[in-house]
Structures are given as structure tokens and as C-alpha cells.
Amino acid sequence: PKMLRSATLARAVRSQPTSRRVVTKSSRRFTTNAKVEVSLEHLTGADEGIAVITMNRPEVKNAIGRNFLAQFEDSVSTLRHSKNTRVAVLRSSVDATFCAGADLKERATMNELEVSQFVYKLRSTFAALENLPMPTIAAIDGVALGGGLEIALSCDLRVAGRDSKIGLTETKLAIIPGAGGTQRLPRIIGVAKAKELIYTARILNGDQALAIGLVNEVADTGKAYEKAVNLAREIRPKGPIALRMAKFAISKGIEVDKASGMSIEEAAYAQVIPTQDRLEALKAFREKREPIFKGE
């Protein structure tokens, strides 16, 4: 029922605690000796409201191992409960690398049960990234293959450097994408093209990815993060509750028939009507100034 959906949405909007504006180790469950492979930073000053997840495992091109995944999961969880974050950017600090996919050397040491458990955690972590309430942007510069591309597919928007290497290459290893690639890719670029890329394990550059709608924007090599932050700056001043409700309506609505989607939109719209931000926008319009939104 619409009233039930509206109440659920209202609780979701109100139940976000305040974020800390710090760089964190992205894991409360690991000892201080654990190597920092994923970190979370909340930008300050004019960029306050923008959060950045940085992947940094240079020795294996950000390959996803147990420690990396646990820290990545913790960063996503922290963002999930951040009220002050309006948009998040996912980047790599490793030269010419976004993420090379699974750590195959570590994978080779796992038995079948451990592989199944690891892939399950991978899938659930990427789903949590996809379901973050605020808009997310992946800044791809360099290699984004297999699980690396699946991370980017879990974001709302993607910016890629022209010389990036982007693809779901699992069939080369006699497996298939296992962390959402078979489901997210066709929803982004269409079923036939997704089948073509997965069947052939084809690798695309940034311009080729842009041509099929896989990425939103292309940047000069080495400039994807800069362009992603500029995109985040364009999003950041907009009404934060409106951004979250727009994401909710689009993401949930696309999964159902149009009539049901319209009901989801109606329920989401109902959450922005009683906000102080909406009144501030009207007041700013009358006073011919830019609105100052507080997420209230």
C-alpha cells in the first residue's frame, strides 16, 4: 500500500546518523597491523558533503582479496549511515589501475566452500554499494576488469579515462561474472550488447565504453578522478533529500512495471513535500539567490 511505502521511506530518511569528516582505516574489525588497502575520506571546505573511497593495493593492481573486501565493505557501511554525505566518489590511487578484479593467487588457495563464501560476500558488498542512499560515481583510470568493473557497475555514474581497459573477462577463466555483472551490465547497456561483451570477454577503452553507454563521461588519461569530483561538485549543492529520493525512485522503479514505478515515484515525492529544503528553495527563488539546503 502507498501509505506503508511512504512510512517506510520516511523512516529511511530520518534514521541517518551524522558522519565524521575524517580519513578512516575502513575496518573496525581488524587489528592496527592490518594493511590499509581501502580508505574513506570526507572532503571539507567547499567540497564538504563529498566522500571519497580510495582503493590502494598497488602490488596487485587493487585485486580483491579478503582484507581488501573487508575494508571495502566497512567503508560502504560507514557511508550507508552518513547523513552529511551528499555524493560519493570511488577511485584508485594506483597508477593506471582502477581494479584488476579478483585476487587469483589468493583464490587458488581456497577450497570450493571458501570460494562460494567469498563470492557471496563480494556480491552482498557490491549490492550494499549499489543501495547506498546517496549518488555514487566511479572514477575509472586504467584497468577495470572482472570484479573491478562489477564495482563500477554498482555505482550510479561512471567516468573513464580514454586509455582505460574495461571489461567482464570471466569467460576467459571458464567462469562467469559472479558479483552482479550478468544483471547490472544488461540493465545499463541492454541485453544483446551485454551478452556480446560477456561471451567474448572483450575489453573496451574509455571512448568505446562511452559509445555504448557503459560510462557517462570520458576524461583524458589520468584525469578521471578530477572529472568525477567536478561531477560530484555539480551534484552536491542540490537538495540532499531530493537526491536520495530521486535515486530511490529511479533504482526501484526500473525493476518493476511502469504503473508500480509511478507508485514508487509518488511515495518518494511525498517525502520531499514536508521538508524545510523545499521551502528554502521557494524562498531563494523569490529572493533571487541560490538556496542553502541542510537536508531537513
Q: What residues are annotated to the active site?
A: 102, 147, 150, 170
Which three-class secondary structure state does DSSP give residue 264?
A: helix
Gap between the Cα atoms of 75 and 27, Å rounded: 7
User: Grid coordinates 571546505 are at which residue?
Assistant: 45
The CA distances from residue 144 to 105, 135, 138, 140, 191, in Å, are: 18, 20, 11, 7, 21
**Contact criterion met (CB below 8 Å) for 148 and 98:** yes
Asked if 164 and 141 count as a contact pair (C-beta separation under 8 A), the reply is yes
For residue 262, the SS3 value is helix
End-to-end CA distance of the chain: 26
Cα–Cα distance, 23 to 143 (Å, whole number):
25
Q: Classify residue 26 by its DSSP letter.
A: S
Helix H segments across the chain?
2-14, 66-80, 104-107, 112-130, 147-153, 181-189, 191-200, 206-211, 224-235, 240-253, 258-272, 276-287
Kindly report the length of the chain.
296
